[in-house]
Amino acid sequence: MTDTAKPPVAARRPHSFARHGITVEDPWAWLRDPGYPDVQDKDVLAYLEAENGWFEQAMAPRKALTDALFTEMKGRIKEDDSSVPQKDGDHVYWRAFEIGAQYRKWYRRPVAGGADQLILDEPALAEEHDYFRLGAMSVSPDGRYLAYAIDNNGSERFEARIKDLATGELLPEVIPGTLSALVWTSDSKGLLYGLANENWRTDNARLHWLGQGVESDVELFHEDDEGFRVSVGLTSSEKWIVIATGDHVTTEVWLLPADNPAAQPLLVSARKPGREYEVDEHDGTLYIRTNDAHPNFRLVKASLETPDQWEEVIGPDDHFYLTDFTLFKGFYVTEGRQDGLDQIELRDYATHRAKRIPFPEASYSASLDDNPEYDVTKLRIGYESMVTPDTIYDYHLATGELEVLKVQEIPSGYDATRYETERLMIAARDGTPIPVSIVYPKDLPRDGSAPLHLYGYGAYGIAMEPGFSTTRLSLLDRGFAFALAHIRGGDDLGQQWYLDGKLDKRTNTFTDFVDVAKGLIERGYTSKGRISISGGSAGGELMGAVMNSDPDLWGAVVAHVPFVDVLNTMLDETLPLTPGEWPEWGNPIEDKAAFETIRAYDPYGNVRAQDYPPLMVTAGLNDPRVTYWEPAKWVAKLRATKTDGNVLILKTNMGAGHGGKSGRFESLHETAEEFAFILWQLGMAD
């Protein structure tokens, strides 16, 4: 692995296992350090460092292009940007970047008048760390204390601290290993949180009283099912603390009085396999969003006295997917998607009739923004589209006026009239129409000569919002079209859309993506080999699957922290996420059919002797979600198996996790690297 003229070669070491009567060979299994998350194996580290050296060597001639792209992207960022201030109790809160800063500062000002107060200084907290991420943060109800959690290595094992905002001093108690929200009791004397156990699973809700040692904290709730995760929250009225436990398909909710967290928890409704629900409270009535009667969810209500006796408020709809609801003192808001398009509706508690907020474009992304108060006369709303920069509105309840508060500023300039966006429907091979959001320069030729970038995810019921991107302009301005494939596995068209891309229907996700690409070729947007594609995590699994099935379609592939060693990961119940992931992918330990399904599409397991497209892969050594050895093993097997001479590079961030490098400019530089790789491979680097 020392010859800089040749890519690194990871040794083959015999390793096999048998399951359900089938023997699986895995000669690169040694790349998993048995001491993980403490990676010290010299051979493993040597291989990762050699791959990093090969990456740097391959990208060095592209440095000028990477720097130019970074300069472009940075020029579109308002460096001293700040959020729109929002009132919460006795203060107005906002956050702001300073010029040149990687991280933001958090401020507040008394509503009654007074000086601005810096309440949290991220640059100072990040100063001595290569990686920094702010997790949960919460101001106490009396406004005196700030609880916040930080991660300084990417492992997502956060450390919670409490700051006295009156004195600026930190309280002595420090809570390591948190992985949850931080929720205050109503008297501002107690703080609820969840600890990650040794397998990085939050199976508890704990209570800390200010001024007491952390060792005396009380466990209020414990979850025994290894597949479930516990979360803590607060109802909109802030009268009740919400303890929710669940996996990807089943939930159970308990309530505690916020003024008496030591009280006996109130169970809303006992868990039923396959039923999800979430709870809020208004004037003693519980409102519950649930999928008990339809995949697209419905809204029901119940009394606190009989919380498991539900009365329907909003019935389910085949075309309207109820994604969220928020209760306010005098009204409530439902959010959802009508045939895939975001909708925000206001409803009164008496009639529950909907008043829909209108938006001007045919395709867009819209949702409630920051609305911390319970009693309001206006709503903060966020809106964007593929051609419209992020816009913050106040919606005035009395008049229905949408007041523009802020439009994302692009200092280097932006002219929306230079671009067009469309929402297409492209038939999958089984006849299902797949939505595609696409943006392109107005003068894009339709003769197949243009390059096109196609992005997809398709997992966990996460929709791809047709939003705005300043970095994407660097491709559009070089003649690219950019398309989002709203493939099955996401919930873009409702919960059934999600169900049709998981478990034994997982391959729909991959074939949808391929069929969208072929449909775009047929429409003249691009041609075979002129398509670059990218995806991360489960979207990286998508990249691996479509590379195996249709390698000649793609001119360049970028896979970020790709979940490609699916079979091995789902067979290893000691890994942090595995038990909770079985409802998403299947349990191949107990279920032979699930084993065979995963084995049939597993990207790593299905690498074979054929030509593959140029590929750039990223990983994070501290990543607890997709462990570093998945992309490392995949790259090692591809090097040993593929029959082409195309570029294959792997970059492992040795001090970061699932999200790559932290800091807005470090992250931007990684995007510039990705785009430089794409332009290089499509012959557009000059």
Number of other CB atoms surrounding residue 415 within 10 Å: 7
Q: Decide if pLDDT at 3 tops 60.
A: no
Number of H helices, E strands in the chain: 12, 38
491 vs 157, higher pLDDT: 491
Is omega for the bond preceding 37 within 30 degrees of 0, making it cis?
yes
pLDDT at position 625 is 84
Contact 579/553 with Cβ under 8 angstroms? no
> What's the DSSP call for residue 358?
P
The pLDDT, as a whole number, for residue 438 is: 97
Question: Mean pLDDT over residues 579-599, rounded?
Answer: 96
The C-alpha atoms of residue 262 and residue 241 are separated, in whole angstroms, by 11
Residue 663, pLDDT score = 76
CA distance 268 to 303: 10
- Mean pLDDT over 230-245 rounds to 97
Asked whether the beta carbons of 229 and 247 are under 8 A apart, the reply is: yes
pLDDT band with cut points at 50, 70 and 90 for residue 362: confident
Q: Are 298 and 280 in contact (CB under 8 A)?
A: no
> Which of 537, 550, 662, 669 is flagged as catalytic?
537
Tell me if domain 1-78+606-686 and domain 415-527 are identical in fold.
yes
List b or e across 373-395, with b for residues whose CB sees 16 or more CB atoms inside 10 angstroms.
eeebeebbbbbbbbbbbbbbbbb
Give me the mean pLDDT over the 223-229 stretch: 94
Choosing from 500, 623, 662, 669, which is the catalytic residue?
623
248, 486, 560, 658: the catalytic one is 658
- CA–CA dist 117, 93 (Å, integer): 9
pLDDT single digits (tens) 114-154: 999 999 999 999 998 988 999 999 999 999 999 999 999 88
Task: Answer for the pair 194, 176: CB distance below 8 angstroms, yes or no.
Answer: no
Write down the pLDDT at residue 12.
97
pLDDT of residue 4: 59
User: What is the pLDDT of the chain when averaged over all its residues?
Assistant: 96
CATH superfamily of 1-78+606-686: Alpha/Beta hydrolase fold, catalytic domain (3.40.50.1820)
Between CA 334 and CA 322 the distance in angstroms is 7
Supply the pLDDT for residue 1.
Answer: 35
pLDDT at position 128: 87
Distance CA 34, CA 31 (A): 9
Both tokens of 570, joined, read 């789902």
- Structure confidence at residue 127 (pLDDT): 92
Per-residue pLDDT averaged across 364-390, rounded? Answer: 97
Return d(Cα 657, Cα 467) in angstroms, integer: 25
pLDDT of residue 303: 98
pLDDT band for 56, please (50, 70, 90 cuts). very high
pLDDT of residue 577: 83
pLDDT at residue number 2:
41
CATH 3.20.20.140 fits domain 415-527: no
Q: Residue 65 above 90 pLDDT?
A: yes
548-569 pLDDT tens trace = 999 999 999 999 999 999 999 9
Please say if the pLDDT value at position 17 is more than 70. yes
Residue 311 has pLDDT above 60, yes or no: yes
Largest Cα–Cα separation, the chain:
75
Domain locations along the chain: 1-78+606-686, 317-408, 415-527, 566-602
User: Tens digits of per-residue pLDDT, 612-626?
Assistant: 999 999 999 988 889
Mean pLDDT of 576-596: 94
Distance of alpha carbon 675 from alpha carbon 595, whole angstroms: 37
Token couple for 54 = 């090969």
Q: Active-site residue 658, yes or no?
A: yes
Residue 537 known to be catalytic? yes
**Residues 640-673: tens digit of each pLDDT:** 999 999 999 999 999 876 677 677 888 899 999 9
pLDDT reading at 628 higher than 80? yes
DSSP 3-state of 513: helix
Residue 216 bears catalytic tag: no
pLDDT band of residue 604 (cuts 50, 70, 90) is very high
The helix (H) or strand (E) run that includes residue 51 is helix 42-59
- Residue 357's contacts (CB-CB under 8 Å, 6 or more residues apart) are 343, 344, 345, 346, 366, 381, 395, 402
